[in-house]
Structure 1
Amino acid sequence: MSKSKILDISHFLPYQLVALSTKVSDAFAHVYSQEAGLTQAQWRVLSHVINIQFATAKQICELANMDKSTVSRAIKQLEQKQFLRLNQHPEDKRATVIECTDMGFDLYKQLTPKALEWEQVLLESFSEGEKDTLKKLISKLSQSVDKE
């Protein structure tokens, strides 16, 4: 194989994005793990449930880009901790909806300011214009992937 055909994976965009995502997720984990004993999956599920009325496991899988077994396990664990409860959908008796309990909502309200503060520190070296550009580029890249 000639040198020009060798892929330097460390400069390959998909690799860079995954590596960065892992670093950011791992660094952020202390906010919800140390403060509340939550796993990454539990934090993501709890956050999505709070933002969706009549949330279903399928919706959470799609929104959080997580597999069904991980989401199901996180839901079960959050239900055991009394942060979530499962109920029958008010309009579709065959469907189960996931709702946040008062305890879960209180925990979310406790963690949200810390999460936002952590994000602010992460981005403090960026100007406001750079932050806007970053968000636009991430959105544009995401839309590009969705088209495939």
Structure 2
Amino acid sequence: MIDRAPLELERFLPYRLSILTNTVSQAIAREYERRFDLSVTEWRVMAVLARYDGEGLSAREVAERTAMDKVAVSRAVARLVAAGRVTRRTHHGDKRRSVLRLTAKGWKVHDAVAPLARAQEREVLARLDAEERAWLARILDKLLMA
């Protein structure tokens, strides 16, 4: 007989974090998918490009900053470029590197979706008191430093 020890998923941290992330993300994703034909991956790419606008990131750098799959990021970037929401230009100092930036059309979508994301975050965090929110921020910072 094989001795098995199945994971108790309801207590397994990666599973619980995944469920939480999916639940929170899907709450606003339905809205921006409907309004802007934008996937979760595309939104995350746009959010990172907006956050680091002054730097001009490559698709590889976006994947690194989001811990998303490079192929998924590449597909999302291709769709965003085709939709006119992102430009892809050759880096002036390194012809092998592409630099991505939001277009005016991309910023318009970003500026409509970002408040939805912030509102969803506030709604989730409202379940915690101020001390719990501070602890959560410290714990997440500590875990993400690993």
TM, length-normalised to structure 1: 0.86
Q: State the one-letter code of the partner of 1:136.
A: R
Question: Identity of counterpart residues, as a percentage?
Answer: 29
Query: What SS does structure 2 have at the residue aligned with 1:111?
Result: helix
Divergent runs of 4+, >4 A: none
Matches within 5 A, 1:107-146: 107-143=109-145, 146=146
Greater RCO structure (CA 8 Å; 6+ sep): 2
Q: Which residue in the other structure is 2:24 paired with?
A: 24
Give, in angstroms, the shift of residue 101 of structure 1. Answer: 0.4
Query: What SS does structure 2 have at the residue aligned with 1:90?
Result: coil
Q: State the one-letter code of the partner of 1:97.
A: V
Q: Is the 8 A contact 1:31 1:115 kept in 2?
A: no
- Number of equivalent positions: 142
TM, length-normalised to structure 2: 0.87
Q: Is the 8 A contact 2:27 2:120 kept in 1?
A: no
Distance 1:7 1:101, change over 3 A: closer
Matches of 2:31 and 2:133 in 1, distance apart? 22
Matches of 1:106 and 1:55 in 2, distance apart? 19
Is 1:42 matched with 2:42?
A: yes
Q: Which residue in the other structure is 1:99 paired with?
A: 101
Deviations 1:1-32 (A, max 9, x none): 49xx6642321222222222222222231242
Matches of 1:117 and 1:15 in 2, distance apart? 25
Q: Which residue in the other structure is 1:81 paired with?
A: 83
Matches of 2:69 and 2:7 in 1, distance apart? 29
